[in-house]
Structure 1
């Protein structure tokens, strides 16, 4: 850590900061601590900060962004040997911007004008890179609640969750990048907090899962996870979207495009394929989601009747956990109906009454 101390001393001198206590007060201000509390913070952290500079303990993660902003340089420059010898002007210290900084500022203009220019030496996108904390740009988007970063990734890179591996897909131009991201649930919470239903459903897209796989696949599929289902059930806009009956355009991959000689396939309107998993979860947690279960069952009663009126009832059957309805005599037929799993037993008269009214199809 000797380099860190030398470099911090150098940039303190450039910035006219005479004491570590004064630097800690500036750090406190960057952390949103004001007034007398900032000085109390400085006195409290002075001993720890001294030990960090001596290498007796690691630099606090919370100090990274404040130090970068105060000195106008990246942490990498602070840690780099002889960095303090680089020619700099006191009034305009150069700053090596990194993806952490962009997520922190969350400035749409900077995303548009500069972010794409950040490439590694081998030409790979910055989206795949990690910093000294093994974190990616996506990690910092979640950490700093960077809603403009979410929109930028959606509009410019077409970010989508690939549900079968819980990975994110980014496509820009002709290239496609896949990133494994452990915080996909926290990212979902962030996107949901933006109250943009269309944006959320485009990134977390159960229709893609339905038309490409026809079932949830692995047990850890995000659409089966309780935390994800609660995000849907807790958000009025997202919850109401599961009742929408709409067509779906499936964009084909390279192999399918060559085989079918089309760019995409548009499927006729169906309800959101996640509806039955939402119902299942709500029925298992009636203490919190009884009102949601009632809404889904009431919708299902009417929806199932409409579907039954258009088919020969005995020819059709539910073929999977999504509630997909197939026809023995027509291999091209498909729809989604609302159903209740046989193993779910509820002790609620109102729910039982609605369940009894729900038209039940044969299930294989």
Structure 2
């Protein structure tokens, strides 16, 4: 931390900040702490801050953005060995606004006016950049709970989880960017906390992967992960959305367009994740029995309705997600409710026994 101390001392001098306690008060103000509480904060933190400057403990993560804003430079520069030797005029220290800054402020106007035009030196979008910690903008959206950032990415870039290994797609001005994001579960929790079901289901598009791949690939897929299924089961609005029958337009790729002679196919179905939710609920009846019962009761009526619309002998269940197809073609007709878990609960077993089973492909 020797470099950091030297640089902090230098920039304190440039900014006319005489004491570390004064700097801590400024940090408190940046954190939204006002009045006498800011001075109490400074008094509480001065010992730890002193230890940090001596290299006895690490810099508090909450202090990074405030220090960058106060000094007008990035943390990367503060950590640079000779940064404090570089010439700079008092009150005119250049502030390189990185994506961390925008996620921290989470200001819709700044996103609209500034964020979109930021490019790296090679002309790539700011979305693909990583900082000195190896983190990207999505990491900081999660860390700072930047709900306006989520909405901005949805409205302007059409952010959508597309493929089996937690890869997010961004589309803007006919360009497409893909980002592999390991923190997809925490991002899902953040999006779910916004209480906007349509937004959540647009970003975590369980229809696309199903109708494109016909399955959810491997256990690495977020739609198969326990934590994601718990998000769906614990949030009543998200849970209720899995029963909705809605149109879903699947746009064809080049091969699909040549084969089908159409640009897109519109399916109408319940949410393809419904059987994953049921499977998880049945395995954890101690916590989700009521949710399993809700799905089974729905399935009893829904499967019977589908049976009344088709010739039973012509259709079969083609995968573990309940996809229903006609033997004569490869297009999906619908999704039905299936059970492939053994349970000991009598009430649940009685409902399972009432669930109409379709033929399965052997």
Q: Same fold (TM over 0.5)?
A: yes
Which residue number corresponds to residue 116 of structure 1? 116
Aligned residue in 1 for 2:315? 316
Change (3 A) 1:17 1:208: same
Segment of structure 1 superposing worse, 65-74 or 3-12 = 3-12
Which residue of structure 2 lines up, in the alignment, with residue 41 of structure 1?
A: 44
Match of 2:187 in 1: 187
Deviation at 1:330, TM superposition (A): 4.8
2:285 aligned with 1:286, yes or no? yes
Residue aligned with 1:248, SS: strand
Q: Which runs of 5+ in 2 are unaligned?
A: none
Aligned to 1:70, the other structure's residue is in SS state helix
Pairing 1:356–2:357 present: no
Going from structure 1 to structure 2, the CA distance change for 1:337 and 1:190 (only over 3 Å counts) comes to same
Q: Which residue of 2 aligns with 1:20?
A: 20
Equivalent position of 2:66 in the other structure:
66
SS of 2:248's equivalent in the other structure is strand
Partners of 2:64 and 2:120 in 1: CA distance: 22
Please name the residue that 1:235 is paired with.
235
Q: Is the CA contact 2:169–2:179 (under 8 Å) kept in the aligned structure 1?
A: yes
Equivalence for 1:146? 146
Consecutive unaligned residues of structure 1, counting only runs of 5 or more, are: none
Any idea what SS the aligned residue of 1:202 has? helix
* Aligned-partner Cα distance in 1 for 2:163–2:296: 26
Task: Work out whether residues 323 and 332 of structure 2, in 8 Å CA contact, stay in contact via their aligned partners in 1.
Answer: no
How far did residue 240 of structure 1 move? Answer: 0.9
Task: Tell me the matched-pair count.
Answer: 357
For 1:134 and 1:70, the matched residues in 2 are separated by 23
Partner of residue 344 from structure 1, selected from 323, 342, 345? 342
Change (3 A) 1:250 1:84: farther
Tell me the alpha carbon deviations over residues 16-61 of structure 1, each in whole angstroms, 9 at most, x when there is no partner: 3211233234334544663564144233314313313xxx665443
Query: Quick one: structure 1 residues 336 and 44, their matched pair in 2 at CA, closer, same or farther if it must change by over 3 Å?
Result: same
The alpha-carbon deviation at position 314 of structure 1 amounts to: 2.3
Q: CA deviation at 1:261?
A: 6.3
Query: Deviation at 1:307?
Result: 0.6
Per-residue CA deviation, residues 95-148 of structure 1 (Å, 9 max, x unaligned), is: 110000000001111111111222111111111111111110010000000011
Q: Relative to 1, partners in 2 of residues 1:46 and 1:178: Cα closer, same or farther, differing over 3 Å?
A: closer
Q: CA–CA distance in 1 between the matches of 2:63 and 2:72?
A: 14
Separation in structure 1 between the aligned mates of residue 268 and residue 332 of structure 2, nearest angstrom: 12
Q: CA deviation at 1:218?
A: 1.3
TM-score when normalising by structure 1: 0.90
How big is the shift at 1:272?
0.8
RMSD across aligned positions (CA):
2.2
Alignment of 1:79-228 (within 5 A): 79-80=79-80, 81-82=82-83, 85-90=86-91, 93-228=93-228
Structure 1 Cα separation of the partners of residues 329 and 14 of structure 2: 77
